[in-house]
Amino acid sequence: MTKFINLHTHQFSNDSNVLEVVNQYPWEFDPNIPTYSIGIHPWYIDENRLLSDLDCIEEKLKETSCLALGECGLDKRIEIPLETQIQVFHQQLDLVQNTEKPIILHCVAAYQEIISIKKDRNIQNPMIIHGFSKNEQVAQSLLSNGFYLSFGKYLMRNLDLEKVFTFAPENKILLETDTIEESIFDVYEKAARMKGLPMDEMKNMIFQNFKSIFKP
């Protein structure tokens, strides 16, 4: 059965119609969540537990229920030094590059750095920018460097994003709820309307994208 895909959420709904990639943090890991991603978000880097967090990520990446690394990445608008963020990001990439699992990325004002790291490390794992909210130029730069874009919160809130979403190639997009109150079905409805597609087509398109990226 073709399920709705929720690429990134912080809430496990246990809806049998939806395959959810639930965001997990190493320091509060919940073994009852059936499909998840795990990573160190740049906001929550804590050097006192960094080694144990990385050990946890390394272990979980071996499990089939762990679908991806993340969310992890870079954020230039927080107080944690970018140098520290980059170091922790590299440490996580060291772990995931031993696998074929995708990477779900948090990126704020650091797209060039993320692109450079992907090139310098020759990362073959699929890399997905979650919660994409930027303009067509940024989208094009990311797409031409092999990134996927996941839309959700800002698709529901920002009318300007419609142009970017309709321009994005259909095989390069995913949908998510992140922390919004709306359901993944609401996000799919909006996305289908923007792309001018019937809901079944939108559902099948995202499912096929998920299959090609995650190889479940």
**107 falls in which pLDDT band (50, 70, 90)?**
very high
Look at residue 117 and tell me whether its pLDDT is greater than 80. yes
Annotated binding-site residues read 71, 106, 130, 178
Which pair of structure tokens corresponds to residue 85? 């963020």
Percent of the chain with pLDDT over 70: 100
Tell me which fold the domain 4-214 belongs to.
TIM Barrel (3.20.20)
CB 151 within 8 A of CB 132: yes
**Cβ-count burial of 74 within 10 angstroms (0-12 exposed, 13-18 middle, 19+ buried)?**
buried
* ∠ Cα 103 209 42 (to 5°): 20
Annotated binding-site residues for a divalent metal cation read 71, 106, 130, 178
pLDDT score for 215: 85
Is pTM, for the whole model, over 0.85?
yes
pLDDT score for 1: 78
Percent of the chain with pLDDT over 90: 98
Domain locations along the chain: 4-214
The string of DSSP codes covering 119-162 is: HHHT--S-EEETT----HHHHHHHHHTT-EEEESHHHHH-TTHH
Strand partners, 4: 18
Query: What is the CB-side half-sphere exposure of residue 151 using CA atoms within 13 A?
Result: 33
CB 187 within 8 A of CB 152: yes
**59 falls in which pLDDT band (50, 70, 90)?**
very high
Lowest mean pLDDT among 46-55, 62-71, 75-84, 152-161: 152-161
User: Coil, helix or strand for 54?
Assistant: helix
pLDDT score for 201: 97
The overall average pLDDT reported for the chain is 97
**104 falls in which pLDDT band (50, 70, 90)?**
very high
**97 falls in which pLDDT band (50, 70, 90)?**
very high
